[in-house]
Amino acid sequence: MFNVAVLKMKDIIKFLIIIMLLVLLISLSAKYISSKNKKETEKTKTNQISEKLSQISGKSLNEILGQTMTVMSSIKEETSNNEEKENYAEKILKTEISAIGAINKKNSENANEGTENNAETQENEQKNQNNEGENTEENNQNNQEPKIETAQTGLQTEVVTNNPITESFNVQYGNVKIKNQTSYTLTEDILKPDITIENKNIILFHTHSCESYTSSDLYPYTPTGNFRTTDLNFTVTRVGTELEQHLKNYGLSVTHDATYHDYPSYNGSYTNSLKTVENILQTYKADIIIDLHRDAIGSREDYAPTVKIGEDYAAQLMFVIGTNEGGLYHPNWNQNLKFAVMLQQKAEEMYPGLFKPLMLTTSRYNQHTGKFASIIEVGATGNTLEQCLTSMKYLAKVMDEILK
């Protein structure tokens, strides 16, 4: 009888352990199934549990414990992997948030702080959002290009052109030299810059958008024509952007159009640019209209008209002013000329040699579109882009002076 009783007690203990393990397994499985939240996984886990339970029946206590530990280890491993995946996803999300916060704060130092925790990132984001309106100007200065350098005055200036083409002019008004190619006699009344500039809005555009310069180490490019390229980062259009930035730095209102007018066809460039200017004038009223070009002296590829201002080397500039002598309607030509004389007079006072002699021609060049319209040629084929960009710093300073 005693032996029978012992066997029954062992069985009871065995089944109690089985029940406890079943409860534990079911609890762990339920937790796992809940986290996955998928019916398919639930079925799979249920089948796994059933299979494990079927293997438990009829085995010794040690075997039951061993298999139970194996099951628990397997479940723990899968749960751990899932948590690791979730943590990895969370890390990715934190990294994205941190990057966004760094950009909004425009601090390059924050961009390298890979150990920043989520709480700090969220706090920085909130601060950025709260201060967005207050710090707009500061953020723009740090996120965009370096601050525009303002031209100094009182600098020593000298023309340093290598292999110069002989400078020619046949009229001089004060310190302004003029090459008059028309039959008009340029009297005091015609040249005197007795104009009042009320509308100081400025339009910049480029009839020959693809005109480029000599490639340099700082601005290397592959020409797609004879000193021409369709990459506007290396053409006179880029020079226009530089002038625009400098003028805006002085608080002047500027619209700069970078439309191709000489591509894909060079013929009809002036017809194309006229349409552009007329469209702009429908919504942006301006009297000062500047068509920025590069001097097209193709016979002298080494010709680089240059002026040294302080320690800067800048490409020389040249006004080209049209008239109605070619037969086209142009009632504004004398006003255009007076504006050019006014600006070049001031330039000669501030930076002697920045301008070559003004050229007065018989053609109109779309200058009938504004009271103070002109062509300004920036450098020639031998100049580098950096020399032309430097010129814009000084041209903008002169323009600011006459528009104050």
CATH number of the domain bearing residue 184: 3.40.630.40
Do 31 and 87 sit in the same domain of this protein? yes
Does 225 fall in a domain? yes
Calculate mean pLDDT across residues 268-293.
98
- CA 191 from centre of chain: 42
Do 225 and 122 sit in the same domain of this protein? no
Q: How many domains does the structure of the chain reveal?
A: 2
Backbone angles phi, psi at 359, to 5 degrees: -110, 125
Does 348 fall in a domain? yes
Q: Which of 144, 176, 208 is the last residue of a domain?
A: 144
> For 214-263, how does the pLDDT look when each residue is reduced to its tens digit (9 = 90+)?
999 999 999 888 899 999 999 999 999 999 999 999 999 999 999 999 99
> For 110-153, how does the pLDDT look when each residue is reduced to its tens digit (9 = 90+)?
444 444 444 444 554 554 444 444 444 444 444 444 568 899 99
pLDDT-based confidence at 4, cuts 50/70/90? Answer: very low
Do 105 and 128 sit in the same domain of this protein? yes
Range of the domain at 138: 1-144
Do 115 and 250 sit in the same domain of this protein? no
Do 293 and 341 sit in the same domain of this protein? yes
Which CA distances in Å does 191 have to 180, 200, 354, 398? 12, 21, 20, 19
Do 177 and 301 sit in the same domain of this protein? yes
Does 54 fall in a domain? yes
Do 119 and 6 sit in the same domain of this protein? yes
Rg (CA), the chain: 39
Calculate mean pLDDT across residues 390-396.
98
Helix (H) or strand (E) holding 93: helix 61-105
Amino acid identity of residue 199, one-letter, is: N
- The three-class DSSP label of residue 360 is strand
Q: How far is the C-alpha of 184 from the C-alpha of 182, rounded, in Å?
A: 5
Please report the pLDDT score of residue 23 as a whole number. 76
Do 136 and 225 sit in the same domain of this protein? no
Q: Is the peptide bond before 352 cis (omega within 30 degrees of 0)?
A: no
Is 394 within 8 Å of 317 (Cβ atoms)? no
Is 216 within 8 Å of 234 (Cβ atoms)? no
Which are the contacts of 350, defined by CB distance < 8 A and separation ≥ 6? 153, 394, 397, 398, 401
Q: Which of 117, 144, 171 is the last residue of a domain?
A: 144
Does 263 fall in a domain? yes
> For 8-32, how does the pLDDT look when each residue is reduced to its tens digit (9 = 90+)?
666 667 777 778 777 777 777 666 6
Is 170 within 8 Å of 180 (Cβ atoms)? yes
Percent of the chain clearing pLDDT 90 (strictly above) = 59
pLDDT-based confidence at 332, cuts 50/70/90? Answer: very high
Percent of the chain clearing pLDDT 70 (strictly above) = 67
Calculate mean pLDDT across residues 367-378.
98
Is 179 within 8 Å of 209 (Cβ atoms)? no
Q: How far is the C-alpha of 122 from the C-alpha of 391, rounded, in Å?
A: 46
Residue 139 CB: number of other CB atoms within 10 A? 17
pLDDT surpasses 60 at 107: no
- The three-class DSSP label of residue 372 is strand
Instruction: Using alpha carbons, select from 237, 339, 329 the residue that is nearest to residue 291.
Output: 237
Does 150 fall in a domain? no
Does 152 fall in a domain? no
Do 124 and 231 sit in the same domain of this protein? no
Does 151 fall in a domain? no
DSSP designation for 222: -
Q: How far is the C-alpha of 143 from the C-alpha of 343, rounded, in Å?
A: 34
Does 323 fall in a domain? yes
Q: Which of 109, 144, 179 is the last residue of a domain?
A: 144
Do 220 and 276 sit in the same domain of this protein? yes
- Taking the whole predicted model, whether its pTM rises above 0.85 is answered as no
Max intra-chain CA distance, the chain: 144
Q: Where are the alpha helices (DSSP H) in 106-224?
A: 108-111, 118-130, 136-143, 188-191
Do 120 and 172 sit in the same domain of this protein? no
Cα angle 310-212-383, degrees, rounded to a multiple of 5: 30
Do 195 and 91 sit in the same domain of this protein? no
